[in-house]
Amino acid sequence: MTDTSRTRRPRWLTVFGLVTLAVVGVGLYGALIMSPPDVNQGDLIRVMYAHVPVAWIGFAAVAVSAVWGMLYLWRGRAIDDVRAQGTAEAALLYSILTVVGGMTYSKPTLNTYWTWDAKLTLTALMVALVVGYFIVRALIDDPQRRARVSAVIMIVVLASLPFNYLAAEWFRTLHPAKSVNLDGSGVTMDPTMLRVLLLNVLGGAMVFVYFISERIRIGRLSLADDKTFDSVKGVAREVVSVR
Amino acid sequence: MNDLIAALTVARKDFLQELRSRATTVATLFFSAITLVMMAFGLGREPELMRSAAPGVLWVALAFAGVIAAAQSFQADLEEGAFEQLLLLPASRAAIYLGKLAASWLYLFALGVLMVPIALGLYGATAPAGTWWLLGLVLLLGTLGLAIIATFYAGLTANLQAREALLPVLMFPVIVPIMLGAVRATEAALMGSADAPLALSWVQLLGGFDLVYLVVCASIFHFVVDD
Amino acid sequence: MSGGTDELAIELREVTRRMGGEYVLRGVNLEVAAGRLVVLRGSNGTGKTTLLRLLATRLRPAGGQAFVFGHDLTRDGAAARARLGLLSVMGGSFPLLTGRENLELAAALAPGPREGAPRSDMAAGGAGFEGPLAGVGLEQAADKLVRTYSSGMKKRLGLARLLLLDPDLWLLDEPYAALDDLGKRLMDECVTAAKARGRTVFMASHESDRDHLGPDAVIELRGGTLRMFGA
């Protein structure tokens, strides 16, 4: 029973994807052309427009994945695990991009790739945590146990973020390395720059939503594939009754 | 009340097992000691460097020992399907977790008490008498944090392949705050009471970590052990 | 109270369960009234242990519904656990504890003495679990570590635990494996006595020479589903 209405991409998603593309395009224009160069860092500041949204979304993705994991633990629906997994994949991708972005940004400004910047350290730890999540996923065959255990791991990962942030922050302050706040906090920002940044955050968030919607849609299809034993269903099986 | 009895019963059982598997217990002890020695070789012989590295090395050794001890405790349980029988008895999973955690904490704390003088001796550091209370407090809270995470993840990985490698991979990124807090507070204790306020803020981090994770891990442990 | 004829000790509805990704149970339907003795047959690897562990709440069903004495195993596992006991193939005792300590552990975690339990006559030796230990012929080895036991002795210790807790539903996984002739007779006696006390016994066994137990039914697990044996 293949239901084409289930396999086709829903219209709203296509429309949403096109709107996302437009927002990202405008954001790119804002970042590369509209935004003035930074007083201190010149054109390098344009990296921020990509880096900051990616970093924020990475953290949000961990939280969203953990929430979906909790929903799975509560309701036990396979689709919630697909959602949690899809979001975790995004979390991994975005946090790796954040680390790479932070390192490339750090090289020209501080002349070193790694500075133990608190936020970057935190993100690197998050990469390690989410990699652990996927290693465990790969090791468990039973889908239900896999879903339960990985939901639990993501909850622990989420709980670790504030502590790791504190630790990373305090670690740095005791080794007072020269550090630049990549999100520009503490610096009064040019209003144009702030607007462009927020536009890019919006674009990035829309890309994220589009990405996981597609991922969840594909996951839902493979979930339907998995129900091979359903073929056994419908065959009348006797109830063995010992009364 | 029933849960308390159950937790104490499980803790007693784990501790008995730990005592009776003398070979593994002694091996873990020597593992920690040899880690201290190996790290000393790795660091070279500059006295100042050695002295300042002592707290860090001590806690790295304890973290490794924590991994081994927790994995070992579940290994002994799983061997003959005994853990399964334990889970069939009407004790709550949180109580079982807390019991195993208590045994593992006691063991790690005792190990820490043994390792402190060895680390201090090997690395030429000294603990001023006035800060022993701080050192004791840090050991208590730090080993508790290690035991909380190690016991939880050891239960989670107990029936997975490659668990020996997997356990530290999962555990270490989570215990970063514990490592950092314990090392810094130990440092402060070794430098004398001058830095007590600073040390106490690290101790607060340890306490907060322990409290949050104790609640989180105890309340979701049943998802981990119920197959 | 014990074993009203209408009460179902076991009720399974279209139960499925995977082990390692493959479906082992593919829609199991079973009703066992309280107080019955049922023998489960099936070749190696057909999922007998899976079914027993599922009944013992150790494995959750992937699909379908499972009840033990009316308690949903997925939602109300603790209530079901309070009324069942499992004798696993390995015996399920902690190797680094003595036989007596293993029983102490079970007694400490179990709810108080059960009504109608054979404890009064078994615990003649006092609180030291001499009764159950002597009942399975382990009084000599009571204070030795289980690690030093033979597999038959481990099985006997598992039986002693079951006698001590005396649950309403006895789940036995290959109870005769590794037992000597005396042990097999002992197992027979315990099973018969349990049934006489109104307990429900559900055992997986290859042994065809145990028919003198007079099971109420012999059922077979084949292809992931159940049927009456021989049908």
Mean of the per-residue pLDDT values of chain A: 84
Q: What is the mean pLDDT of the segment spanning B116-131?
A: 88
Mean of the per-residue pLDDT values of chain B: 90
**Interface touch A229/C60, C-beta < 8 Å:** no
C6, C15, C25, C32: best mutation site toward chain A, by most A Cβ within 10 Å? Answer: C32
For residue B7 the two structure tokens come to: 């937790």
State the pLDDT at residue C19.
83
User: Is B216's pLDDT higher than 50?
Assistant: yes
Q: Are strands C37-41 and C200-204 parallel, antiparallel or unpaired?
A: parallel
Q: Which of A35-49, A189-203, B94-108, C132-146 has the highest mean pLDDT?
A: B94-108
For residue B45 the two structure tokens come to: 């012989």
| C-beta of residue A236 within 8 angstroms of C-beta of residue C211 | no
Q: What is the mean pLDDT of the segment spanning C132-136?
A: 85
Among the partner residues B6, B13, B88, nearest to C94 by beta-carbon distance: B13
**What letter represents residue A236's amino acid?**
A
How distant is the Cα of B142 from the closest Cα of chain C, in angstroms? 29
**Burial letters C51-70, b for 16+ CB under 10 A, else e:** bbbbbbbbbbbbbbebbbbe
Distance CA A237, CA B1 (A): 47
Q: Is C98 on the interface with B (CB under 8 A)?
A: no
Distance CA B14, CA B71 (A): 12
Task: Name which residue leads in pLDDT, A47 or B119.
Answer: B119
State the pLDDT at residue A119.
83
State the pLDDT at residue C207.
67
Distance CA B95, CA B102 (A): 10
Distances (CA, A) of B60 to A3, A172, C116: 56, 19, 55
Among the partner residues B9, B82, B226, nearest to C92 by beta-carbon distance: B82
| C-beta of residue B178 within 8 angstroms of C-beta of residue B206 | yes
**Interface touch A153/B217, C-beta < 8 Å:** no
Q: What is the mean pLDDT of the segment spanning C3-32?
A: 84
Q: Which of A181-190, B47-56, B128-137, C133-142 is predicted with the least confidence, judged by mean pLDDT?
A: A181-190
CA-CA-CA-CA torsion sign (C163, C164, C169, C172):
negative
User: Is B72's pLDDT higher than 90?
Assistant: no
Size of interface B-C (CB pairs under 8 A): 84
Task: Name which residue leads in pLDDT, C43 or A178.
Answer: C43
State the pLDDT at residue A113.
85
User: Is A58's pLDDT higher than 60?
Assistant: yes
State the pLDDT at residue C227.
87
Q: Which of A1-15, B17-31, C27-41 has the highest mean pLDDT?
A: C27-41
Confidence band, pLDDT 50/70/90 cuts, at residue C1: very low
State the pLDDT at residue A174.
53
Length of chain C equals: 231
State the pLDDT at residue B195.
64
Q: What is the mean pLDDT of the segment spanning B85-97?
A: 91
Q: What is the mean pLDDT of the segment spanning A119-142?
A: 93
Distances (CA, A) of C94 to C103, C135, C154, C157: 10, 20, 10, 11
For the stretch A17-32, pLDDT in tens is 999 999 999 998 888 8
Mean of the per-residue pLDDT values of chain C: 85
How distant is the Cα of A134 from the closest Cα of chain C, in angstroms? 17
Q: Which of A181-185, C128-132, C163-167 is predicted with the least confidence, judged by mean pLDDT?
A: A181-185
Q: Which of A220-229, C2-11, C73-82, C129-138 has the highest mean pLDDT?
A: C73-82
How distant is the Cα of A134 from the closest Cα of chain B, in angstroms? 11
Q: What is the mean pLDDT of the segment spanning A152-156?
A: 96
State the pLDDT at residue A235.
56
State the pLDDT at residue A35.
81
User: Is A187's pLDDT higher than 80?
Assistant: no
Distances (CA, A) of B221 to B154, B156, B225, C94, C108: 11, 8, 7, 21, 21
**Interface touch A228/C23, C-beta < 8 Å:** yes
Residue A236: exposed, middle, or buried by beta-carbon count in 10 A (0-12, 13-18, 19+)? exposed
Widest distance between CA atoms in chain C: 49
> DSSP assignment, residue C145?
B
| C-beta of residue C150 within 8 angstroms of C-beta of residue C122 | no
Distance CA A166, CA A160 (A): 10
Contacts of C36 in chain A (CB under 8 A): 242-243
Confidence band, pLDDT 50/70/90 cuts, at residue B128: confident
Confidence band, pLDDT 50/70/90 cuts, at residue A124: very high
